[in-house]
Amino acid sequence: MERVIGIDLGTTNSCVSILEGDVPIVITNRGGYKTTPSVVAVTEAGKRLVGHIAKRQAITNAENTVYAAKRLIGRKWNSPQVKNSIMTSSYTIVEGPHNDVRIRLRDKTYSVPEISSMVLQEMKVIAEDYLGEPVKKAVVTVPAYFNDNQRQATKDAGAIAGLDVIRIINEPTAAALAYGFGKDLDRTVAVYDLGGGTFDISILEIGAHGVFKVISTTGDTFLGGEDFDARIIDWLVSGFQQEHGIDLRQDRMALQRLRDAAEKAKCELSSTRDTEINLPFIISTGRNEALHLQRGLDRATLEQLSSDLVERTIDICRQALADARLGVTEIEDVVLVGGMTRMPAVQQAVAGFFKREPNKSVHPDEVVAIGASIQGAALVREKQEMILLDVTPHALGIMTFGSHFEELIPQNTTVPTSRTKTFTTSRDDQTAVKILVLQGESARADENELLGEFILTGLRRAAKGQVEIEVTFEINSDGIVSVQAKDLETGQAQSIQVTATSGLTQDEIKNMMASAQDYMVERRTDEKFEGAKQEAETLIAEIERLFPEIERAVGSADFGRDALAKARSAVEKTRAAIASKNTNDVSQQVEQLGRTLRMFKGVVTRG
């Protein structure tokens, strides 16, 4: 049976999981962490950095470090979210050739799916290192509010990374899957997800036999753990300014250290009542001396600094309940997702609002990836005990007179599906109608996503309301939406087929896939060479350490001189192989050096 990994592709952190037997395993990366920052950077030397290493240089190399690419994926260039990101991002966002978004790093421009593919590729490598075999298939999670284009862009990112994304599932659904795994639940739950960069609250109905239905979902894509960190940074900076008259924000190195320290302090204060922030040599004064920053921070102060942020999440929860037309008492459990939910003040606020203690049975950082891996395993198993049905993430409809949105296919409708509605003309003697196909939940058409448009002409001249036009929406099992408008009187019809697009052409995706594969080959080759080189250098160091002893012991004998000459020759050959970056030669020399070292050690032991 083919292995399917589950990936939580987060705004700030990503996580990969796999089901081993019936046990979901979260796979640690090479650094031993279970989550990997969704950060990509290119260094001055053109080297690509992904994950923790990229995050650690995010401020000192801000222009060439991409974070929160998820906020941009699948978005149109002129969307408000993109405009917002342009204002707030340190990296350069430019318009792509298909009204899409591109990001400039050093001298190259990348599409957003390409950036996300780098994170997905990293998650794939983490899984492959753990499993010891190639991984091809994955289930990737996305926020419940993602539209078809954003989902398609995420799929494209997976394809570029060399992954066949067999299913995209909603993050709250994945969390609910992990929460309900192995239980036969039938209840309404709230999934409160406060991550590093975004906040989402979803109300779900978990039905018998594995039916998970998102009743409402809302959130704030610019509210998360980073905002809490920013409050601590502000507090530290203003304190330092008062004490020394120096603005630490003006120095990138200082700011990078402040950010790291703030995040660390915030995490510590979830389990301890106070902590100390100690940053020696934070800034030089210009008088040949460097100043230290040392300040204690307690939990109460942090809570005071960030109380409004917590309150904002509660306001959004209130909205989610209103959207779901449910009262607080109808929520039977609250699942906490995201690292920020470890903060005691957040847990207290959630408990206060929902009037019940939140469920802590699932790991907030891992639950979404675990849900994805559970779904992945279920999809490839012959006996499918639990299946998530493909549903439309958003309502589909058309624009009607007065810029109203008329819904034809409601949100969360199981696909394939088909719905028909009849409309009439809105003006006297109207001979043509423009059909704008939209996706979204807003009653206003302009607040929803435009998927496509077409014009039906040749209508009979008549008073308004007399010509009837039948509009049919159809979604097939591949998720392709077809819309047809038909003049009921003449039978004349026009139609459009809407396919979700990430903003990339198939050729572009193919080229990006090839580049990603080349990168992986190069990376694997480099890793192999570095491994051999390290081994060789260790052996050389050991051999050279023993040279004097060997010379003393056997240097006077002919065979001893011969052995020493051979050893020196082996060392030189190895250095030459390292210099020429020839992995095979280095590996061969490692064997020779190993034999030499064993011989030397034997001489030393005997001598």
315 catalytic per annotation? no
Q: Which residue of 25, 53, 267, 480 would you call a contact of another protein, by CB under 8 A?
A: 53
Residue 45 makes CB contacts below 8 A (sequence gap 6+) with none
- Are the CB atoms for 195 and 13 separated by under 8 Å? yes
**Half-sphere exposure for 552 (CA within 13 Å, toward CB):** 7
Question: Which token pair is 340?
Answer: 């920020």
Alpha carbons 160 and 452: distance in angstroms, whole number: 26
Decide if residue 280 touches another protein (CB under 8 A): yes
| Helix or strand (DSSP H, E) at 12 | none
What would the x/- binding string for another protein be over residues 403 to 442, using CB under 8 A?
Answer: ----------------------------------------
Pairing label, strands 164-170, 137-142: parallel
Number of chain positions touching another protein (CB under 8 A): 42
Q: Which residue of 121, 256, 448, 574 would you call a contact of another protein, by CB under 8 A?
A: 256
Residue span binding another protein (CB under 8 A) among the ranges 54-62, 464-472, 586-594, 595-603: 54-62
Question: Which token pair is 346?
Answer: 């957040």
Alpha helices by DSSP H, 5-147: 52-55, 80-88, 112-131
227 catalytic per annotation? no
44 catalytic per annotation? no
Nearer to another protein, 65 or 413 (CB): 65
For helices 344-354 and 299-324, the axis angle rounded to 10 degrees is 30
Decide if residue 545 touches another protein (CB under 8 A): yes
Helix (H, G, I), strand (E, B) or coil at 219: strand
Strands (E), 36-119: 36-37, 40-42, 48-50, 65-66, 92-95, 101-105, 108-111
Q: Which residue of 9, 26, 39, 49 would you call a contact of another protein, by CB under 8 A?
A: 49
| Phi, psi dihedrals of residue 478, rounded to the nearest 5° | -90, 5
Residue span binding another protein (CB under 8 A) among the ranges 333-341, 424-432, 520-528, 540-548: 540-548
CA 176-178-182 angle, to 5 degrees, is: 110
Which candidate, 470, 394, 367, places its Cα nearest to that of 216?
A: 394
382 catalytic per annotation? no
Cβ 554 to another protein shortest distance, Å: 19
Decide if residue 267 touches another protein (CB under 8 A): no
Which residue type does 440 have? G
Nearer to another protein, 274 or 470 (CB): 274
What would the x/- binding string for another protein be over residues 570 to 599, using CB under 8 A?
Answer: -x-------x--------------------
Cβ 597 to another protein shortest distance, Å: 14
Q: Which residue of 128, 234, 251, 274 would you call a contact of another protein, by CB under 8 A?
A: 251
Which candidate, 538, 438, 568, 518, places its Cα nearest to that of 148?
A: 438
Instruction: Find the binding residues for another protein in span 2-31 (CB under 8 A).
Output: 31
Decide if residue 537 touches another protein (CB under 8 A): yes
Q: Which residue of 1, 47, 478, 558 would you call a contact of another protein, by CB under 8 A?
A: 47
**Residue matched to tokens 């005691």:** 344
List contacts with another protein (CB under 8 A).
31, 43-45, 47, 49, 53, 56-57, 59-61, 251-254, 256-257, 260, 278-284, 286, 288, 290, 292, 530, 533-534, 537-538, 540-541, 544-545, 568, 571, 579
- By annotation, the residues acting in catalysis are 8, 70, 171, 193
